[in-house]
Amino acid sequence: MMARLRLLLLFTLLTLIMMGVGLVAGAYFGTSPTGAMTIFFVIAVLINIGSYFWSDKLVLRAYKARVVERHEAPQLFGVVKKVAQMNDLPMPRVAIVPSQTPNAFATGRSPQHAVVAATEGLMRMLDRDELEGVMAHEMGHVKNRDTLVMAVAATIAGAIAFAARILWWNSIFGRNRNVHPALLILVILTAPLAAFLLQAAVSRQREFKADATAAALTGKPWALVNALRKLEHGNSSRPMEVGSPAHAALCIANPLRGGDMLVNMFSTHPPMQDRIDALEAL
């Protein structure tokens, strides 16, 4: 029930943001603001429906992930199956991301449609206990029904950012000046930022819970701590070359480069040291 309420709230807030972009777009292009808001509302509803049913396919495509069979990744399959059984969940599909940066994510609208993905770098870098901790974290997202909420947030936030980007380019090269420049700039800057912050808030809260779920399930919080340290070093020194900022929230570690205060403030992930401290306190 809480997962459904979070999803409904997310749909509502991001739809309202997109309608706000439509309001300014309508005024800017000299059309009816109400009509433009209606069009953007319909677009938002279609995106909501599409992201609900096909978010997993969009995420896998963004990361160039390939769904594999047991014989192609026997250790990964074995670990995922063990963790799924411990959670009393159906076996998810398993995918491999062609990246040497160590990372992992889970997606899918329900446990019956879940996909767990790991990068080639993750499988190479972690030992079996650490891999189990990471997969338990991802299956924790599946169990807590986070995968749908986070994938939908990523999809809609990306759409809002795209709509705001169109306004930005038209404000530079277009001839219409029906909207005050200050209001146009405000929407261009704040619409994608608001969507991003909503996405980040969802992700940050969920990461701590998934960490705790994984530690309790495996009984090896130290293994996840070791894995997180390796992931932090691996992603900061070599950010992922696939994926997009809109989908960064899905990964267990932030796959984007950045260590300054501004980046940390708007990161989709809580600081790694905070997560490690919370695990070590268990």
**Residue 10 shares a structural domain with residue 141:** no
**Residue 29 shares a structural domain with residue 164:** yes
Whether the predicted pLDDT of 45 surpasses 70: yes
Among the listed ranges 78-92, 125-139, 150-164, 253-267, which one has the minimum average pLDDT value? Answer: 253-267
User: What confidence score (pLDDT) does residue 262 get?
Assistant: 40
User: What confidence score (pLDDT) does residue 88 get?
Assistant: 93
Mean pLDDT throughout 152-161?
A: 70
**Residue 114 shares a structural domain with residue 214:** yes
* CATH number of the domain encompassing residue 239: 3.30.2010.10
- Coil, helix or strand for 115? strand
Mean pLDDT throughout 31-45?
A: 82
Q: Which helix (H) or strand (E) holds 264?
A: helix 261-265
**Residue 117 shares a structural domain with residue 44:** no
pLDDT-derived band at 74, boundaries 50, 70, 90: very high
**Residue 71 shares a structural domain with residue 17:** no
Whether the predicted pLDDT of 58 surpasses 50: yes
User: What confidence score (pLDDT) does residue 26 get?
Assistant: 75
User: What confidence score (pLDDT) does residue 268 get?
Assistant: 66
Buried b (16+ CB within 10 A) or exposed e, 73-96: beebbebbeebbeebeeeebbbbb
Distances (CA, A) of 28 to 90, 98, 164: 50, 43, 12
**Residue 6 shares a structural domain with residue 141:** no
Mean pLDDT throughout 194-222?
A: 81
**Residue 249 shares a structural domain with residue 229:** yes
**Residue 141 shares a structural domain with residue 151:** no
**Residue 227 shares a structural domain with residue 270:** yes
User: What confidence score (pLDDT) does residue 263 get?
Assistant: 45
Q: pLDDT tens digits, residue range 224-275?
A: 999 999 999 999 888 888 877 767 778 999 887 654 444 444 466 788 999 9
Active site residues: 138
Q: Which range of residues forms the domain containing residue 130?
A: 61-146+203-280
Q: What is the value of pTM for the model shown?
A: 0.77
**pLDDT above 70: percentage of residues in the chain:** 77
Among the listed ranges 62-71, 104-113, 155-164, 267-276, which one has the minimum average pLDDT value? Answer: 155-164
Q: Is 276 in contact with 231 (CB distance < 8 Å)?
A: no
Considering the chain, what is the average pLDDT of its residues? 82
Whether the predicted pLDDT of 279 surpasses 90: yes
User: What confidence score (pLDDT) does residue 261 get?
Assistant: 43
Last-in-domain residue among 199, 217, 239 = 199
Highest mean pLDDT among 3-12, 195-204, 211-220, 244-253 belongs to: 211-220
**Residue 164 shares a structural domain with residue 177:** yes
User: What confidence score (pLDDT) does residue 7 get?
Assistant: 67
Instruction: Count how many domains the chain has.
Output: 2
**Residue 83 shares a structural domain with residue 191:** no
User: What confidence score (pLDDT) does residue 114 get?
Assistant: 93
User: What confidence score (pLDDT) does residue 145 get?
Assistant: 80
**Residue 40 shares a structural domain with residue 151:** yes
Buried b (16+ CB within 10 A) or exposed e, 14-52: bbebbbbbbbbbbbbeeeebeebbebbeebbeebbebbe
